[in-house]
Amino acid sequence: MWERIRVMLRKEFIQALREPRMRLLLFLPPILQCIIFGYAVNLDVDHAHIAWMDMDRTPESRDLREQFESSGRFDVVAMPANEEGVQRVLDSSQAQAVVRVLPGFARDLARGRAAGVQVLVDGTNSNTASLIVSYGGQIIAAYSNGAMGRQQNRRVLTRSPGSAVNASAPQVTARSRVWFNPDLYSRNYFVPGVVANILMMVTLMLTSLAIVREKEIGTMEQLMVTPLRPIELMLGKTLPFAVVGLVDMALITAAALVVFHVPFRGSFLLMLLCALLFLMTSLGAGLLLSTISHTQQQAMMASFFFSTPAFMLSGFAFPIRNMPLVVQYFTYLNPLRYFTEIVRGIFLKGVGISVLWPQMACLVVYGVAMLTLSALRFHKTLD
Amino acid sequence: MSFRRLRAIFVKELHHITRDARSLALALAMPVMMLLLFGYALSLDVDRIPTLVYDQDQTEASRDLIKQFQASRFFDIRGFVDGYAPIERAIDRSTVLMAVVIPRRYSQNVGGAREAPVQILLDGSDSNTASIALGYAETVVQDYSLDLRTDMMNRRGGEHTPPPVDARLRVWYNSSLESKNYVVPGLIAVILMIIAALLTSLTIAREWEMGTMEQLLSTPLRPAEMVLGKMLAYFVVGLADAAIAVLVGVFVFQVPFRGSVPMLVVSTCVFLFGALFWGIFVSAAARTQQKAYQISIVTSFLPAFMLSGFVWSIENMPKVIQPITRAIPARYFVTILKGVFLKGAGFRLLWGELGFLALYAAIVFLLATRKLRQKLA
């Protein structure tokens, strides 16, 4: 039996790695995803383009603008003079927000009346918009706090000159500390997710394609007349892609550490173990898809249909917490969710089995179920 | 170019598509699935951040501050703890994202009109959620601080003064800040790219693999006719997908549609031409379906998904990547879609993008025809 599996494995490896172009294609997607998620995909906002409309033109309004620009979050790219200008910069997406200092800003400030500042935000991208609203609000609140202090000092001084000490007022300040990813880099969050995602893509898709291809071309009949048993055929078809998947995973992990400087705080051994657990599920699913598809196109569409929701509902890019409650329960059915949680936990939080055992148990249950199911169906089609 | 031959290949390809009912059903279910995912399930909007409170002070003043967090819809106070250990455990297990720690001398500091620090602990692994949460937390604290100062000043001065700066924040175009309004229009570009990658890229590779290419070669069919005929058959499927996506988006998910329908139709057609020609080009270049599929996923789907500004905005990308996105047709189509849907922008604002898409389609058509001619020779 081992001899037959060995021969089958050799055939599969030769088939998978025969052409240089194919070899490239096995390893290109992980590299590309890594680059895109490591460098390009960034949800944070800095140097957001804003337009500044100063209807007051006083030192105070210029001071406020100074605060916006020195925060590093905003770059003033336009100075519209009128309403049409405001409309134009927002319509053409030249600026993502317009800050309008209303006339009488400095006067109101001096007299202790509410001085008006208007911030118009382009809400098209709701995520960027909420960040801009929040950062802009903070800068204005800080300015307001400062203005209030000065105002108060002045007032107390006019009443009882020389007793500026009394003028202090309570100030509650937030001292924030961010754990695990103190610089809030998006890539620290995304790159570990790529590890999980690639492992699924490579194994699921390539396994199902490899088997259906034999069916479509007609070489399946040839395999059937050999003394190869179904279980041997299954192993021979899945193991090469498990190896490719693991190599891809090692590549991405290395890139994460060396190129992207993503912290790795947990144990490599635990991650490898969890990857093996996950492979049972994804290879089993690949086999299952191959038994229900007749052509490669169907296999591709089916694996796309399986992997896209798995990817989207894994919490990879879209936090599960934000989903509606029904969908949140639904994600418990998603094996990739557990694996993504495990990989992130190991990478960023350095947690071990004591925290991750529920996820690992789910992967085991899933893997055994998938493999059994596909073995049952696989047997039938070969007969 | 003969119209009769073009029609023949078009009809043949349509037969191919309709005969494989399973693939066709999947192709038409695709937009619905993507829309359900993005319109209903996926959201980057952060609210109800699970939060723990560790109140070391236990005074009226500290409870007042906690009330501010409770009143905010952005925070969901999951419980009160008395130590850092439970916070660490909860953050490790990802049951909470944030913790507010009010230090022991908080009320004395506030009463004594000194600076009163409050600690915010945050799980930063999801950097986007964390930065939004941080912003909200700081705003809550700052607003509260401002209220306290105003209160105290009013008490001292005996007169009423409002907070000095009145910030009026207003959001245009998508005023409810729902990410579905932002994502669903762009999704149409992604769906069309998937169709191009999953269906079109296989069409010529399959003929090679099955050996039917030789049969086509023996007919008087010219490369341009083959490219056009095959493209038109998938164009029908693509248009059906686009129509499903637009209708479901507007009627089920209530995404606002402010622009003109003709602009949407014209730009969709132009974009679809380019995307499908590219699929055929890939198909002609790669001789096996597996390779064709891999290449087209990498060259059309991935860039359309990640570099088009569909979810992740281009402005936030590093300066090196930003010029690369200019070479991606989906980027222009996403801009058009968002403009037409959300801003009601018309041809006057979007002619540049439309022009690029037309140019792209023409170039890729020539490329595909040339590639096929090379392969046939």
Paired with B51 in beta bridges are B77, B98
Contact B45 A322 (CB under 8 A): yes
| Residues sharing a CB contact under 8 Å with residue A255, sequence separation 6 or more, in sequence order | A31, A34, A38, A191
Cα–Cα distance for residue pair A115/A55, rounded to 1 Å: 12
Contact criterion met (CB below 8 Å) for B61 and B125 = no
Band of residue B356 on the pLDDT scale cut at 50, 70, 90: very high
Burial of B158 (0-12, 13-18, 19+ CB in 10 A): exposed
Chain A residue with minimum CA distance to B164: A114
Closest CA to A194 of A253, A145, A242: A253
Which B residues in the span 298-317 are in contact with A, Cβ-Cβ below 8 Å?
A: 298, 302, 306-307, 311-313, 315-317
Domains, chain A, ordered by start: 18-41+184-382 (no CATH), 48-167 (3.40.1710)
B115 vs A117, A173, A300: nearest CB: A173
Query: Where are the strands (E) in chain B, listed by range?
Result: 49-55, 75-81, 98-102, 115-123, 165-172
Q: What is the mean pLDDT of chain A?
A: 81
**pLDDT higher than threshold 70 for residue A166:** no
Summarize pLDDT for B189-209 with one digit per residue, the tens: 988 888 887 788 888 888 888
Contact B164 A148 (CB under 8 A): yes
Band of residue A367 on the pLDDT scale cut at 50, 70, 90: very high
Summarize pLDDT for A289-331 with one digit per residue, the tens: 888 888 888 888 888 888 888 888 888 877 887 788 888 888 8
Q: What is the pTM of this model?
A: 0.77
Q: How far is CA A278 from CA A190, A273, B361, in A?
A: 19, 9, 42
Contact B146 A144 (CB under 8 A): yes
Pick from B63, B123, B169, B202 the residue to mutate for testing the A interface (most A CBs within 10 Å). B169
Q: Give the single-character DSSP code of B71.
A: H
Cα–Cα distance for residue pair B10/A68, rounded to 1 Å: 59
Work out the number of other CB atoms within 10 angstroms of the CB of residue B281: 26
Contact criterion met (CB below 8 Å) for A51 and A101 = no
pLDDT of residue B355: 93
CA distance A374 to chain B (A): 20
Which B residues in the span 235-254 are in contact with A, Cβ-Cβ below 8 Å?
A: none
Delimiting residues of CATH 3.40.1710.10 domain(s) in chain B: 49-157
First CA to last CA distance, chain A: 19
Cα–Cα distance for residue pair B294/A25, rounded to 1 Å: 7
Q: What type of residue is B293?
A: Y
Asked if B257 reaches chain A (Cβ–Cβ under 8 Å), the answer is: no
**pLDDT higher than threshold 80 for residue B102:** yes
Closest CA to A282 of A350, A371, A216, A209: A371
In chain A, what residues touch B318 (CB-CB under 8 Å)? 39-40, 42
Contact A133 B141 (CB under 8 A): no
In chain B, what residues touch A143 (CB-CB under 8 Å)? 165
Pick from A49, A134, A172 the residue to mutate for testing the B interface (most B CBs within 10 Å). A172
Band of residue A336 on the pLDDT scale cut at 50, 70, 90: very high
Contact A349 B125 (CB under 8 A): yes
Asked if B213 reaches chain A (Cβ–Cβ under 8 Å), the answer is: no
- Measured in residues, chain B has a length of 377
In chain B, what residues touch A44 (CB-CB under 8 Å)? 127-128, 131, 316
Contact A301 B198 (CB under 8 A): yes
**pLDDT higher than threshold 60 for residue B321:** yes
Closest CA to B68 of B26, B30, B115, B120: B120
Q: Give the single-character DSSP code of B248.
A: I
CA distance B23 to chain A (A): 6
**pLDDT higher than threshold 70 for residue A89:** yes
| Cβ-count burial A200-234 (b if 16+ within 10 Å, e if not) | bbbbbbbbbbbbbbbbbeeebeebeeeebeeebbb
Summarize pLDDT for A179-196 with one digit per residue, the tens: 777 777 778 888 888 888
Angle at A280 between CA A10 and CA A12, to 5 degrees: 15
pLDDT of residue A43: 66
Q: Give the single-character DSSP code of B196.
A: I
CA distance A98 to chain B (A): 10
**pLDDT higher than threshold 70 for residue B166:** no
Asked if B153 reaches chain A (Cβ–Cβ under 8 Å), the answer is: yes
Asked if B374 reaches chain A (Cβ–Cβ under 8 Å), the answer is: no
Paired with B85 in beta bridges are none
Summarize pLDDT for A119-142 with one digit per residue, the tens: 888 877 777 777 788 788 888 878
Cα–Cα distance for residue pair A16/A189, rounded to 1 Å: 32
Contact criterion met (CB below 8 Å) for B186 and B334 = yes
pLDDT of residue A381: 59
Higher pLDDT, B94 or B281: B281
Strands of the sheet with A97-101, listed across from one edge: A74-78, A48-54, A97-101, A115-122, B165-172
**pLDDT higher than threshold 80 for residue B162:** no
pLDDT of residue A141: 79
A119 vs B146, B153, B170: nearest CB: B170
| Residues sharing a CB contact under 8 Å with residue B284, sequence separation 6 or more, in sequence order | B204, B368, B371, B372, B375
The number of C-beta contacts closer than 8 angstroms across A and B is 379
Contact B117 A324 (CB under 8 A): no
The percent of residues above 90 in pLDDT, for chain B, comes to 17
Contact A92 B33 (CB under 8 A): no
Higher pLDDT, A253 or A111: A253
B113 vs A19, A170, A181: nearest CB: A170
| Cβ-count burial A352-383 (b if 16+ within 10 Å, e if not) | eeebbeebbebbeebbeebbeebeeebeeeee
Closest CA to A367 of A203, A157, A221: A203
**pLDDT higher than threshold 70 for residue A170:** no
Q: What is the average pLDDT across B173-194?
A: 79
Band of residue A163 on the pLDDT scale cut at 50, 70, 90: very low
Asked if B33 reaches chain A (Cβ–Cβ under 8 Å), the answer is: yes
CA distance B139 to chain A (A): 6
pLDDT of residue B158: 58
A171 vs B115, B298, B338: nearest CB: B115
In chain A, what residues touch B350 (CB-CB under 8 Å)? none
Lowest mean pLDDT among A7-21, A270-284, B198-212, B251-265: A7-21
Q: What is the average pLDDT across B254-271?
A: 90
**pLDDT higher than threshold 90 for residue A360:** yes
Alpha carbon of residue A39 to chain centroid? 12
Q: How far is CA B179 from CA A213, B24, B97, B174, B176, in A?
A: 40, 30, 21, 9, 9
Cα–Cα distance for residue pair A345/A351, rounded to 1 Å: 6
Which residue intervals of B36-172 are DSSP H helices?
60-71, 84-92, 106-111, 127-157
Cα–Cα distance for residue pair A149/B316, rounded to 1 Å: 36
In chain B, what residues touch A324 (CB-CB under 8 Å)? 40-41
The percent of residues above 90 in pLDDT, for chain A, comes to 10
Which of helix, strand or coil describes residue A57?
coil
Summarize pLDDT for B65-96 with one digit per residue, the tens: 999 899 888 899 999 999 899 998 888 888 88
Asked if this assembly's ipTM is beyond 0.90, the reply is: no
B298 vs A29, A43, A318: nearest CB: A29
- The phi and psi torsions of A246 (rounded to 5 degrees) equal -70, -35
Closest CA to B87 of B136, B122, B57: B122
Most confidently predicted of A15-24, A117-126, B239-248, B315-324: B239-248
Q: What is the average pLDDT across A239-267?
A: 88
Angle at B208 between CA A25 and CA A283, to 5 degrees: 40
**pLDDT higher than threshold 80 for residue A165:** no
Cα–Cα distance for residue pair B22/A299, rounded to 1 Å: 10
pLDDT of residue A274: 94
Q: What is the average pLDDT across B217-234?
A: 86
Cα–Cα distance for residue pair A277/B216, rounded to 1 Å: 48
pLDDT of residue A195: 87
pLDDT of residue A162: 46
Q: Give the single-character DSSP code of A166.
A: G
Asked if B363 reaches chain A (Cβ–Cβ under 8 Å), the answer is: no
Contact B178 A126 (CB under 8 A): yes
Q: What type of residue is A42?
A: N
CA distance B168 to chain A (A): 5
For the record, the structure tokens of B312 come out as 């992740």
Closest CA to B335 of B352, B316, B318: B352
- The phi and psi torsions of B165 (rounded to 5 degrees) equal -110, 130
Paired with A172 in beta bridges are B116
Which of helix, strand or coil describes residue A300?
helix
Cα–Cα distance for residue pair A24/A5, rounded to 1 Å: 26
| Fold adopted by B49-157 | abc type-2 transporter like fold (3.40.1710)
In chain B, what residues touch A297 (CB-CB under 8 Å)? 20, 23, 198-199, 202, 206, 289
Closest CA to A65 of A103, A98, A112, A113: A98
B165 vs A48, A143, A297: nearest CB: A143
Q: What is the mean pLDDT of chain B?
A: 84
Cα–Cα distance for residue pair A335/A317, rounded to 1 Å: 16
Cα–Cα distance for residue pair B300/B328, rounded to 1 Å: 9
Contact B167 A144 (CB under 8 A): yes
